[in-house]
Structure 1
Amino acid sequence: MREPRSAVPAALWVLLALALAGAALWLLRGAAPLSPLWGWLQAQFGFLAQPAGFGISEGWLDFDSGQSYARAFAMGVLNTVRAAVPAALLAVGLGTLLGIGRLAPHLLVRAVCTAYVEALRNVPLLVQLLMLYFALTHLLPDSSAPVELLPGCWLSKNGLSLPWPVWEGGAWPARLEWPETTAFGVAGGAALSPEYLAIVFGLGLYSAAFVAEIVRAGVQSVPAGQKLAAQALGLTGGQQLRLVVLPQALRVIVPALTNQLLSLTKNSSLAVAVGYPELVSVANTSLNATGKAFECIAIVMAVYLLLSLAISAAMNVYNARVALRGWR
């Protein structure tokens, strides 16, 4: 007899267990049996409270060399999330279009989508990241002569400048700060560095090729009778895809898509090759400054484990919503 599906994802149980274990260790840190362990942790990881002595070029938080290694690692984690989330959105959106395009009745559309998928899947991600970074820093115009892609969006070797909301003490943005060209480049707004653009587009475009195959397989798994029934009801091709095919294909797509999103997040560690200050880059700098190789690598492993478990738990919750009700 098959067992009913658990309402709580296994990854969420692991996260809760780790959180409870950490809380118990903190609350019982003064207990005699745990004092040697706590003393060892303080001796090994006490460097996290020391001043880092190096800066981080970009990120959501303000950081300077006088702040602690712990804040530097927090900056690295946030920068990893800052790159992985838009890359995942790009991969899912573009991959869905490519997967549907591979099944299109038009030969040219199928050929273009197939060429994209086969080309990007068969070139190593690191090579693509380096090529994209060098293209951004060598082929784009100088910062003194940027290209305006859209009103207020300027692209040059220094990166992409965008309008950005400005808060002036209230709960809502007071105004938009628009980038302006000057004799020395673009000033104002939000600036996205070439390193950030390279890792976001590199991860997104590469992962989109794999997502396309996942979507194509999911669409092809829907029985042909479902499509014929939709045609008999008079639905257009777009309505058939949106209302009949994709909702059923999600049952096949979501589990495989979860693995691809996990791979994308872990592949963000390759950002160190283009100089983007994510978690691995911060860990390497901290390792060289302190000599704490085991401790820095342990922190990196723990962070990626927690990120992977969080993504798995969220996707499992969504998978439970789109899966068939009842028994597995």
Structure 2
Amino acid sequence: AVPASHPAYFQMFVALIIGLALGFGLKRWVKKRKFTTGRDFPVLWPFLGLSLGLPLLVWVLHGAPMQMDVPELKGFNFQGGIMLSPEFFALLLGLVIYTSAFVAEAVRAGIQAVSRGQTEAAMSIGLKKKHILNLVILPQALRVIIPPLTSQMLNLTKNSSLAIAIGYPDFVSVANTTINQTGQSIEGVAMIMACYLVFSVSTSIFMNWYNKKSKLVER
């Protein structure tokens, strides 16, 4: 059992996502404005205000809750909090460690694929390290990072079906149980195929769109 948060914390998380989306939208607008007019606009404080101010506002509107439902041992079992099964924790830990290793390798290979001369040229014109990373290295590294990263996201979706090996009742396990009880194997297998197809196609469409959006524009 783990501590259960106040219901307001979920709304704060949603507000954080909305604030980050608005902040990145503001950053893109500032970038376009600077490109067209040459005028700079301070984006740091508005970005922090949106990303941190909205969750703080939700927290205040809910009465600034600070309490959490902490599990306590009462009798022969814990009461309170949220129950996390060992199978789910093992599945989550295994997928995170396995996938993060490949993602880290893809990012490392993409960054090292950028020529050292690009960094030296950026340093020669006086760019700071953060600007070198954001404006010189990452735009060129993304075209190397995104294709293997897409494959890893697809593998992550398919590898989640291995939960049945450790006894966690995932979608495939529930579908197999339904097939055994109803005898409708064709419909059950079709549902499994349809769900994985939707997840895989959605991931591919999004990553291909991002890959096309982040590619270098040659003049």
TM-score, structure 2 normalization:
0.66
Stretch moving more, 241-250 or 259-268: 241-250
- 1:162 correspondence with 2:3: yes
In structure 2, the residue corresponding to 1:251 is in which secondary structure? helix
Percent of pairs identical after alignment?
46
Cα 1:199–1:285, aligned 2, differ >3 Å: closer, same or farther? same
Offset, 1:177: 3.4
The answer for the alignment partner of 2:106 in structure 1 is 214
Q: Residue 83 of structure 2 aligns to a residue in which SS?
A: strand
Matched residue of 1:191: which SS? Answer: coil
Query: For residue 164 of structure 1, what is the amino acid of its counterpart?
Result: S
- Aligned partner of 1:235 in structure 2 is 128
Higher relative contact order (CA 8 A, sep 6+): 1
Cα distance in 1, alignment partners of residues 134 and 73 from structure 2: 47
Deviations 1:129-180 (A, max 9, x none): xxxxxxxxxxxxxxxxxxxxxxxxxxxxxxx51332226xx99685453213
Query: Could you tell me which of 167, 176, 180 is aligned with 2:71?
Result: 180
2:2–2:71 CA contact under 8 A, matched in 1: no
Are the aligned partners of 1:258 and 1:315 in contact in 2 as well (CA < 8 Å)?
yes
Distance in 2 between the 1:322 and 1:245 partners?
13
CA-CA distance at 1:231 after TM superposition? 3.0
Aligned-pair RMSD on alpha carbons?
2.7
* 1:198 equivalent in alignment to 2:198: no
Given that 1:258 and 1:312 are in contact with CA atoms closer than 8 Å, whether structure 2 keeps it comes out as yes
CA distance in 2 between counterparts of 1:212 and 1:259 reads 13
Structure 1 runs, 4 residues or longer, greater than 6 Å off: 170-173
Q: Give the conservation status (yes or no) of the 8 Å contact 1:179–1:186.
A: no
Shift of 1:234: 5.7
**Letter of the structure 1 residue corresponding to residue 200 of structure 2:** S
Closer/same/farther in 2, CA of residues 227 and 280 from structure 1, 3 Å limit: same
Match of 2:188 in 1: 296
Query: Residue 161 of structure 1: SS of its match in structure 2?
Result: coil
Number of equivalent positions: 165
Alignment of 1:63-142 (within 5 A): none
Which consecutive residues of structure 2, in runs of 5 or more, have no partner in the other structure?
13-57
Q: Distance in 2 between matches of 1:273 and 1:217?
A: 32
1:279 to 144, 149, 171: 171
Does residue 1:255 correspond to 2:96, yes or no? no
Structure 1 residue 193 displacement after superposition: 2.0
**1:17-36 → structure 2 map (5 Å cutoff):** none
CA contact (8 A) 2:3 2:71 kept: no
Q: In the alignment, which residue of structure 2 is the partner of 1:105? A: none
Unmatched 5+ residue regions in structure 1? Answer: 1-159
The answer to whether the aligner puts 1:246 opposite 2:87 as a matched pair is no
Distance in 2, matches of 1:192 and 1:325, equals 48
Deviation at 1:326, TM superposition (A): 6.0
Deviations 1:74-117 (A, max 9, x none): xxxxxxxxxxxxxxxxxxxxxxxxxxxxxxxxxxxxxxxxxxxx
